[in-house]
Amino acid sequence: MPTSSSPTELFERQLSRLGEEHFLVLLWAATGEYKQVKYNITNLFDDLKHGGITRTKQTAVAIVESLRILCFIDVRDERNRKNIYITEFGAKALEKLIKTGRYVKKGSAFLEEVKS
Protein backbone atom coordinates (compact mmCIF):
# COMPACT_ATOMS: atom_id res chain seq x y z
CA MET A 1 0.00 0.00 0.00
CA PRO A 2 1.51 3.34 -0.94
CA THR A 3 2.13 5.66 2.00
CA SER A 4 2.05 9.44 2.17
CA SER A 5 2.70 11.97 4.87
CA SER A 6 0.46 14.61 3.25
CA PRO A 7 -2.48 15.68 5.52
CA THR A 8 -4.60 16.16 2.38
CA GLU A 9 -3.83 12.65 1.30
CA LEU A 10 -4.84 11.38 4.75
CA PHE A 11 -8.09 13.35 4.62
CA GLU A 12 -8.87 11.96 1.18
CA ARG A 13 -8.27 8.44 2.42
CA GLN A 14 -10.42 8.95 5.50
CA LEU A 15 -13.11 10.36 3.28
CA SER A 16 -12.96 7.41 0.88
CA ARG A 17 -13.71 5.06 3.76
CA LEU A 18 -16.84 6.85 4.87
CA GLY A 19 -20.08 4.98 4.14
CA GLU A 20 -23.63 6.21 3.75
CA GLU A 21 -24.21 5.77 7.50
CA HIS A 22 -21.31 8.15 8.27
CA PHE A 23 -22.56 10.64 5.72
CA LEU A 24 -26.00 10.65 7.34
CA VAL A 25 -24.60 11.15 10.85
CA LEU A 26 -22.61 14.16 9.65
CA LEU A 27 -25.63 15.56 7.82
CA TRP A 28 -28.03 15.10 10.72
CA ALA A 29 -25.57 16.41 13.28
CA ALA A 30 -25.08 19.58 11.20
CA THR A 31 -28.84 19.94 10.66
CA GLY A 32 -29.46 19.61 14.42
CA GLU A 33 -26.93 22.28 15.14
CA TYR A 34 -28.41 24.50 12.45
CA LYS A 35 -31.88 24.06 13.95
CA GLN A 36 -30.42 24.56 17.42
CA VAL A 37 -31.69 21.20 18.52
CA LYS A 38 -29.63 18.77 20.60
CA TYR A 39 -29.16 15.63 18.51
CA ASN A 40 -28.13 12.66 20.63
CA ILE A 41 -27.16 9.03 20.07
CA THR A 42 -30.69 7.81 20.90
CA ASN A 43 -32.15 10.14 18.25
CA LEU A 44 -29.53 8.93 15.81
CA PHE A 45 -30.28 5.27 16.57
CA ASP A 46 -33.99 5.88 15.90
CA ASP A 47 -33.22 7.64 12.61
CA LEU A 48 -30.83 4.90 11.47
CA LYS A 49 -33.46 2.27 12.25
CA HIS A 50 -36.10 4.32 10.41
CA GLY A 51 -33.79 4.68 7.41
CA GLY A 52 -33.12 0.94 7.32
CA ILE A 53 -29.38 1.43 7.99
CA THR A 54 -29.10 -0.66 11.17
CA ARG A 55 -31.29 -2.30 13.76
CA THR A 56 -28.77 -2.47 16.63
CA LYS A 57 -27.70 0.25 19.01
CA GLN A 58 -24.16 -1.18 19.12
CA THR A 59 -23.77 -0.45 15.41
CA ALA A 60 -25.08 3.09 15.88
CA VAL A 61 -22.58 3.60 18.70
CA ALA A 62 -19.75 2.14 16.54
CA ILE A 63 -20.56 4.55 13.68
CA VAL A 64 -20.52 7.51 16.07
CA GLU A 65 -17.32 6.31 17.71
CA SER A 66 -15.50 5.96 14.37
CA LEU A 67 -16.46 9.49 13.33
CA ARG A 68 -15.40 10.81 16.73
CA ILE A 69 -11.97 9.14 16.45
CA LEU A 70 -11.53 10.71 12.99
CA CYS A 71 -12.33 14.10 14.63
CA PHE A 72 -15.33 14.56 12.31
CA ILE A 73 -17.72 14.88 15.23
CA ASP A 74 -17.67 15.72 18.93
CA VAL A 75 -19.76 13.76 21.39
CA ARG A 76 -20.54 15.65 24.55
CA ASP A 77 -22.15 14.38 27.73
CA GLU A 78 -24.84 16.96 28.47
CA ARG A 79 -27.52 16.38 31.15
CA ASN A 80 -27.19 12.62 30.92
CA ARG A 81 -27.41 12.68 27.06
CA LYS A 82 -24.60 12.06 24.59
CA ASN A 83 -25.15 14.88 22.07
CA ILE A 84 -23.43 14.93 18.68
CA TYR A 85 -21.80 18.01 17.12
CA ILE A 86 -20.12 18.23 13.74
CA THR A 87 -16.54 19.55 13.76
CA GLU A 88 -14.88 21.76 11.13
CA PHE A 89 -13.13 18.65 9.73
CA GLY A 90 -16.50 16.92 9.66
CA ALA A 91 -18.02 19.89 7.85
CA LYS A 92 -15.25 19.71 5.20
CA ALA A 93 -15.86 15.96 4.83
CA LEU A 94 -19.61 16.52 4.47
CA GLU A 95 -19.01 19.27 1.92
CA LYS A 96 -16.85 16.93 -0.16
CA LEU A 97 -19.34 14.09 0.05
CA ILE A 98 -22.18 16.41 -0.96
CA LYS A 99 -20.22 17.80 -3.93
CA THR A 100 -19.27 14.37 -5.26
CA GLY A 101 -22.93 13.31 -4.96
CA ARG A 102 -21.75 9.94 -3.64
CA TYR A 103 -24.71 9.57 -1.28
CA VAL A 104 -28.27 10.77 -1.38
CA LYS A 105 -29.62 12.92 1.42
CA LYS A 106 -32.17 11.31 3.70
CA GLY A 107 -34.30 13.14 6.21
CA SER A 108 -34.07 12.59 9.95
CA ALA A 109 -37.51 11.74 11.31
CA PHE A 110 -36.54 13.37 14.58
CA LEU A 111 -35.23 16.62 13.08
CA GLU A 112 -38.02 16.93 10.54
CA GLU A 113 -40.52 17.23 13.36
CA VAL A 114 -38.62 20.28 14.58
CA LYS A 115 -39.38 23.57 12.89
CA SER A 116 -36.29 25.43 11.75
Q: Which is nearer to other proteins, 52 or 101 (CB)?
A: 101
Residues 3, 84: Cα–Cα separation, whole Å: 32
Select from 61, 66, 81, 91 the one that contacts other proteins (CB under 8 A): 91
Q: Which is nearer to other proteins, 61 or 74 (CB)?
A: 74
Residue 49's contacts (CB-CB under 8 Å, 6 or more residues apart) are 55
Asked if 98 is part of the footprint of other proteins (rule: CB under 8 A), the reply reads yes
Tell me how far CA of residue 85 lies from CA of 2, 21, 39, 82, 100, in angstroms: 33, 16, 8, 10, 23
SS3 53: coil
Listed ranges 14-22, 25-33, 37-45, 53-61: which one lies at the site for other proteins (CB under 8 A): 25-33
Q: Which stretch binds other proteins (CB under 8 A): 6-14, 43-51, 52-60, 83-91?
A: 83-91
